[in-house]
Amino acid sequence: SKKAYYLDLLEQTRASEVQPVNDQIDGDRRQASGANYQMWNQVLNDIYGELKNQLSASEMNDLKIKQRQWIKDRDAASQKELKEAGGGTLAYAEEARILHEMTRERCYELVTYYMK
């Protein structure tokens, strides 16, 4: 099934996440989280494309509304983290971490709750 395929893809993606060269260095953490965010964002787009094929027009419309809100919430959370961390490389490392982690979580939610 497509759901099983995507659950396997999620596990493969999680296993291939980039680890910072030195997690004590903010630049390394930012770079790793940024790479992970890009990777998960691509998976998210793939999942969303598959859901367009699976869901009815009304289900897809409901999901579009929820997805737009999720994007706003994700971006707000990352900006909040950026502001709270006070700027500098630490702030950007934390912003990238939030984007990465929330996008990964959203991939699991979409596959678990929407995919057939």
Q: DSSP readout, 24-86? A: TSHHHHHHHHHHHHHHHHHHHHHHHHHHHHHS-HHHHHHHHHHHHHHHHHHHHHHHHHHHHTT
> By the 8 A CB rule, do 115 and 54 touch?
yes
* Predicted confidence (pLDDT) per residue in 88-102, tens digit: 788 899 999 999 999
Specify the DSSP class assigned to residue 23: T
Could you tell me the two tokens for 93? 């490392």
The pLDDT, as a whole number, for residue 88 is 79
Q: Tokens 């691509």 identify what position?
A: 42
* Predicted confidence (pLDDT) per residue in 9-32, tens digit: 999 999 999 998 887 888 899 999
One-letter amino acid of 40: W
Q: Which CATH class is domain 2-14+25-114?
A: mainly alpha
* Predicted confidence (pLDDT) per residue in 29-53, tens digit: 999 999 999 999 999 999 999 999 9
Q: Where are the domains of the chain?
A: 2-14+25-114
- This prediction has a pTM of 0.93
The pLDDT, as a whole number, for residue 39 is 98
End-to-end CA distance of the chain: 7
* Predicted confidence (pLDDT) per residue in 66-76, tens digit: 999 999 999 99
Element (DSSP H or E) covering residue 3: helix 2-15
> By the 8 A CB rule, do 47 and 107 touch?
yes
